[in-house]
Amino acid sequence: MEYAAGVCDVAVIGAGHAGIEAALAAARLGCETVIFTMNLDAVGNMPCNPAIGGTAKGHLVRELSCLGGQMPETADRACIQFRILNLSKGPAVWSLRAQADRREYQKLMKGVLEAEPRLRLVQAEITEIRTEGGAVSAVVTRSGAVWTCRAVVVCTGTYLKGRTVVGEVTEESGPDGMHASGPLAGCLRDLGLPLRRFKTGTPPRVNANSVDFSKMELQPGDRDPEPFTFDAETAPENRAVCWLTWTNERTHEIIRRNLHRSPLYSGVIDGVGPRYCPSIETKIVTFPEKPRHQLFVEPMGLGTGELYLQGLSSSLPEDVQVEMVHSIAGLERARIQRYAYAIEYDCVDPTELTLTLEARRVPGLYGAGQFNGSSGYEEAAVQGFVAGVNAALKLLGREPLILDRAGSYIGTLIDDLVTRGTNEPYRMMTSRSEYRLYLRQDNADLRLCGAGHALGLISDARYEKVLEKYESVRRETARLESAYASPTPELNAFLAQRGQPPVTSGVSLASLVRRPQLDYASLSPFDPGRPALPHAVVRETEIELKYAGYIEKQMRQIKEFRRMESKKLPPDIDYGAIGGLRLEARQKLTQLHPDNLGQAGRISGVSPADVAALMVYLSR
């Protein structure tokens, strides 16, 4: 029996990391929004690793902060250890990663959703999305409640036809033993969306009281931890430590001996798993020459003794998992509290979506997160934000938010998914961006706070602070270019100590900062006119000076990229009638309908010669 349950502007299906950002963004832009979750206790859940950020993922979270998203602020409050990764390398790959208190994060996120004025949180399973005139018109729950709406954001994570696998045991299930969502998958297929099957996995969780940490390497947090949000009023606090241990030949032999029982190799698992976060079984088979693999032992929170074994993802039978864990240094007597499992789920082919994350075939239907073929909480959150924002902007009659790949990792992620598609769970990495020297985590505020302010999600006061910060960077850079140090014996002795050649005449402080082995702080004794500046301004100034030539080259590349992106392709263009296009290019272009010439050139199967033919066509 159906009944009319209510009316809203935007309905969000799923309250994971994508759903949370989608719902909050839509509500904060002025739309009446309802977010549905299978279980209220699973809001903001971290069923895989209890952490936010990481290589390239930290960039995404920083960018989300500058647009007005929620994950960065909640992570700053709920995380218990903060570390900048890759500090031994250049600033393009520095990435913040924070260990989270899993339950505290959930509690805080649920409270944020409940307190948002235009947002309603409802526990219910959505089984149907209805359309009228081809466009979204309502969603229906398993109990028959009909919610009339004008837009839907699908954020189903790994719940959509979810199936967990541990050895020979399979079960229709979502993560952490939650119910799977079944009927919605059939409805999406009926709407014309092609679905595919992906898989991911989790490692065992062990009791800290059964672990011998003396056999492991301590992994402390940073001495001066940095937050994800640029305008945090207080610095985050490191309240926990992690540990590092390794597998060994005995571990590998146990796995090899039991490969015939692995669902990955026995044919039980059909879904495609993530290339860049493989199971331990896959590591052993793929890299047989490696004598060991590192494992990070991470706390799940301050109020629990449960530890997460990062790097030991598996779907082997429980008895094999016990033997495998006990072969590892420090874990010889470890008591497993949760066994590792693999989970298969349905997701959409993301090339069915536009750059706004709206489905091409169903107006008003948006997708985000693992439903779009990505993996990771951070990838999910930024997609949820973009989908929620664009759903709201469309209903409000405003221009859409489209972030290009030259201005953000978020834009790179969405462009990769929508333009190129993915045959496996997509994970963001710094190597995916051709503009990564410019798209650094430290300058995300410069790149994106303007867009967040234009949306109305970044306050005037916060935006003014960003403008003031980079004006300070400009002034200090100019001062260093014009300030000179004399060739004193003290300066030359300092240079010799740092392995640098001496100077025989006056030299600008900027040129000294650019030298290897020298930095802004160490030159303080030779810079009497130096003003007192915040650490963030000093860091930006130093990066701008040291990498000026590379950044200038990258900005020229970005200018050319945007020139190509500005050449719009008509939505009704007939690619079959354009001479000079190869057959494959005609088929791909007709299928994907790129917005512009630049996007067309990034489609697999479209060659430079095809792009040249399109340019000739546009010039006519």
Q: What is the pLDDT of residues 474-500, one digit of tens each?
A: 999 999 999 999 999 999 999 999 999
Task: Please give the pLDDT value at position 617.
Answer: 86
Task: Please give the pLDDT value at position 89.
Answer: 93
In a domain, 264, yes or no: yes
In one-letter notation, the amino acid at residue 146 is V
| Domain match, 549 and 572 both | no
Task: Please give the pLDDT value at position 187.
Answer: 97
Predicted confidence (pLDDT) at residue 354 exceeds the cutoff of 80: yes
In a domain, 439, yes or no: no
| CA–CA gap between residue 26 and residue 153 (Å, rounded) | 10
DSSP string, 455-470: HT-S-HHHHHHHHHHH
Task: Please give the pLDDT value at position 107.
Answer: 98
Per the DSSP assignment, residues forming a β-bridge with 367 are 154
Split at pLDDT 50, 70, 90, the class of 619 is confident
Predicted confidence (pLDDT) at residue 269 exceeds the cutoff of 90: no
Q: What is the 3-class SS of 35-46, one letter each residue?
A: EEECCHHHCCCC
Task: Please give the pLDDT value at position 522.
Answer: 95
- Evaluated on CA atoms 608, 609, 614, 619, the torsion sign reads positive
> Could you tell me the CA-to-CA distances from 244 to 220, 247, 589 in Å, in that order?
10, 11, 48
| Domain match, 525 and 577 both | no
| Domain match, 231 and 336 both | yes
| Domain match, 580 and 549 both | no
| Domain match, 489 and 598 both | no
Predicted confidence (pLDDT) at residue 276 exceeds the cutoff of 80: no
User: Considering its fold, how many domains does the chain have in total?
Assistant: 3
Predicted confidence (pLDDT) at residue 277 exceeds the cutoff of 90: no
| CA–CA gap between residue 114 and residue 112 (Å, rounded) | 6
CB 204 within 8 A of CB 321: yes
| CA–CA gap between residue 521 and residue 537 (Å, rounded) | 12
Among 327, 343, 359, the domain-final residue is: 343
pLDDT, tens digit, for every residue of 101-130? 999 999 999 999 999 999 999 999 999 999
Among 504, 525, 554, the domain-final residue is: 554
In one-letter notation, the amino acid at residue 428 is M
DSSP string, 383-414: HHHHHHHHHHHHHTTPPP----TTT-HHHHHH
In a domain, 260, yes or no: yes
Among 500, 527, 554, the domain-final residue is: 554
Q: What is the largest CA-CA distance in the chain?
A: 90
Split at pLDDT 50, 70, 90, the class of 391 is very high
Split at pLDDT 50, 70, 90, the class of 275 is confident
Q: What average pLDDT does range 168-178 have in this prediction? A: 92
CB 565 within 8 A of CB 532: no
> Which strand ranges, in their side-by-side order, compose the sheet holding 3-7?
3-7, 145-148, 135-141, 126-132
pLDDT, tens digit, for every residue of 498-518? 999 999 999 999 999 999 899
In a domain, 339, yes or no: yes
Q: What average pLDDT does range 34-53 have in this prediction? A: 95
Task: Please give the pLDDT value at position 591.
Answer: 87
CB 316 within 8 A of CB 340: yes
Q: How many Cα atoms within 13 Å fall on the side-chain side of residue 381? A: 29
Task: Please give the pLDDT value at position 385.
Answer: 98
Predicted confidence (pLDDT) at residue 236 exceeds the cutoff of 80: yes
Helix intervals (H) in 248-398:
249-257, 263-266, 280-286, 318-326, 377-395
In a domain, 39, yes or no: no
Contacts of 331 (CB under 8 A, 6+ apart): 206, 211, 212, 245, 309, 325
Buried b (16+ CB within 10 A) or exposed e, 465-494: ebeebbebbeebbebbeeebbeeeeebeeb
Nearest to 109 by CA among 74, 68, 81: 74
pLDDT, tens digit, for every residue of 562-611? 999 898 988 889 998 888 899 999 998 988 889 898 899 899 888 889 88
Task: Please give the pLDDT value at position 426.
Answer: 95
Q: What average pLDDT does range 196-206 have in this prediction? A: 95
| Domain match, 494 and 611 both | no
Q: What average pLDDT does range 330-357 have in this prediction? A: 97
Compute CA 108 distance to the chain's CA centroid, rounded to the nearest angstrom: 20
Split at pLDDT 50, 70, 90, the class of 48 is confident
| Domain match, 215 and 252 both | yes
In a domain, 591, yes or no: yes
The radius of gyration computed from the CA coordinates of the chain, to the nearest angstrom, equals 26
Q: Percent of the chain beyond pLDDT 70?
A: 100
Split at pLDDT 50, 70, 90, the class of 271 is confident
Domain that holds residue 231: 205-343
In one-letter notation, the amino acid at residue 267 is G
| Domain match, 241 and 319 both | yes
In a domain, 19, yes or no: no
Q: Percent of the chain beyond pLDDT 90?
A: 87
CB 196 within 8 A of CB 346: yes
CATH number, domain containing residue 306: 2.40.30.260
Task: Please give the pLDDT value at position 371.
Answer: 98
pLDDT, tens digit, for every residue of 286-300? 999 999 999 999 999
Per the DSSP assignment, residues forming a β-bridge with 429 are none
| Domain match, 210 and 338 both | yes
Q: What average pLDDT does range 360-374 have in this prediction? A: 97
Predicted confidence (pLDDT) at residue 307 exceeds the cutoff of 90: yes
Task: Please give the pLDDT value at position 22.
Answer: 98
Q: What average pLDDT does range 205-229 have in this prediction? A: 97
In a domain, 403, yes or no: no
| Domain match, 337 and 210 both | yes
CB 78 within 8 A of CB 70: no
Tokens of 601: 């050139």
Predicted confidence (pLDDT) at residue 234 exceeds the cutoff of 90: no
Average pLDDT, rounded, for the chain:
95
CATH number, domain containing residue 489: 1.10.10.1800
| Domain match, 534 and 573 both | no
**DSSP secondary structure letter of residue 569:** P
| Domain match, 303 and 337 both | yes
CATH number, domain containing residue 605: 1.10.150.570
Tokens of 452: 């967040």
